[in-house]
């Protein structure tokens, strides 16, 4: 087990992580007093819950205000008055707009939906999304870009959908969320308060998952159409 926990490169094996086969060969090179088969190595790794092929990531925050921003957002989620709106906003960039050359063939018993492989590209768009945290309502639009003006357009949509009452806008630290145009919008709409999540804390913005769901279930099989010439 000790050898399995060593970095292969530390013992002259030019790979990033062990496989059962490579680890078996390495152990054989140590001239141990007993033989180990590859199946035995697999069993030992499994019994010890050692998985060399897997890794988990962590992130050291560079945001000096991490705790303060996190607590501010959580305070909104848990303690904001019930008559105040809580809207998470975010963008999904690089959404490909593809037009299939032939229509899909519908699903039939014993056969899934069939789709033409070839397609025509119509560039990429940005999905500008908003999530009403209290009601679970998702809305937004596709945009050519994701700059400050596009974000202001999304804020206008939010304000139109909720013309009355105070509200909170939760967003990340994207540069487009803090331009002069955006600041002017909040100055002109004092009933809305903006809350920034800490850097690298997208898990605090529920719109991310909502946009992923929309991409998986609403746009994944949706094709573009060429305008008649």
Q: Which tokens belong to 91?
A: 């963008």
End-to-end Cα, the chain, rounded Å: 68
- pTM of the predicted structure, to 2 decimals: 0.71
Quote the percentage of the chain above a pLDDT of 90. Answer: 43
Q: Between vectors from CA 82 to CA 76 and to CA 83, what angle results, nearest 5°? A: 110
Strands 167-171 and 137-143: unpaired
Categorize the per-residue pLDDT at 83 as very low, low, confident or very high, splitting at 50, 70 and 90.
very high
Mean pLDDT value of segment 38-59: 89
Q: Between vectors from CA 52 to CA 49 and to CA 56, what angle results, nearest 5°? A: 90
All structural domains of the chain: 8-47 (no CATH), 66-219 (3.30.420.10)
* pLDDT score recorded for residue 212: 62
* pLDDT score recorded for residue 191: 97
Longest dimension (CA), the chain: 79
């Amino acid at each position: 087990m000790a050898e399995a926990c060593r970095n292969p490169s530390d013992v002259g094996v030019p790979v990033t992580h062990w496989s059962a086969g490579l680890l078996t060969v390495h152990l054989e090179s140590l001239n141990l007093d007993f033989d180990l088969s590859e199946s035995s190595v697999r069993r030992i790794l499994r019994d010890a819950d050692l998985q060399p092929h897997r890794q988990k990531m962590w992130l050291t925050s560079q945001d000096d205000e991490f705790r303060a921003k996190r607590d501010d957002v959580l305070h909104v989620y848990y303690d904001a008055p019930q008559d105040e709106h809580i809207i998470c906003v975010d963008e999904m960039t690089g959404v490909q707009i593809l037009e299939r050359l032939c229509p899909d063939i519908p699903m039939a018993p014993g056969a899934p939906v069939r789709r033409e492989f070839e397609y025509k590209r119509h560039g990429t768009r940005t999905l500008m999304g908003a999530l009403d945290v209290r009601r679970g309502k998702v809305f937004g639009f596709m945009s050519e870009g994701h700059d400050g003006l596009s974000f202001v357009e999304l804020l206008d949509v939010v304000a139109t959908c909720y013309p009355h009452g105070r509200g909170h806008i939760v967003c990340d630290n994207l540069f487009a969320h803090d331009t002069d145009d955006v600041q002017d919008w909040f100055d002109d709409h004092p009933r809305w308060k903006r809350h920034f999540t800490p850097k690298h804390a997208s898990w605090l913005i529920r719109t991310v998952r909502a946009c992923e769901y929309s991409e998986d279930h609403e746009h994944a099989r949706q094709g573009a159409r060429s305008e008649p010439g």
